[in-house]
A = this chain, B = another copy of it.
């Protein structure tokens, strides 16, 4: 359509999650309209991120520093650890600003069907922390999926010997959600774990 450079850019963009061939073409067009103010800054940002961003050896977060900005923040509680499946989950929780403790990113969930076993999850740093410092609560913030629940039960078994308070995030009606359109599983969970007003 417009030479190899355009085709290559569309091909690479269309592989990003949330973008398909059609939206990659739209994005490419928007970029091509402003090569100096949009394309080159994006190219630079990608290069710099590729160069500087690393995995935090302590919690598994992605950051320019290792240990990451969350692990080294002295204002955050060191005795609360929230276990999440992915860095995306960590970022989503951080957007709320409600949690002031530490994280542990597992890097996935147990999934017998996909061949992901306990040895594939990044649990060692959490066990190291339990040995090294005082931890009062471990919050399991895993997805409400079959794999997430499997992982939660397995983690519970692993953490039980440490005699630490283990909690899990609630399940129920999402904010703005109408009961009418929700599935039976969510409604059952919302009903059975109901609280007084």
Interface, chain A (partner B; CB < 8 A): 1-6, 8-9, 12-13, 15-19, 23, 25-32, 35-36, 38-53, 61-65, 68-69, 86-88, 91, 94
Contacts and interface: CB of A to CB of B under 8 A. Distances in A.
B27 A16 contact: yes
B45 A2 contact: no
A29 B30 CA distance: 22
Copy number of this protein in the oligomer? 2
Given A39-B46, A46-B31, A91-B1, A17 B6 contact: no
A50 B30 contact: no
Contact of A88 (B29, B44, B46): B29
Contact of A87 (B19, B29, B45, B51): B29
A5 B39 contact: no
A43 B50 contact: yes
Nearest to A25: B91
Contacts of A45: 5, 8-9, 12
Contacts of A16: 27, 30-31
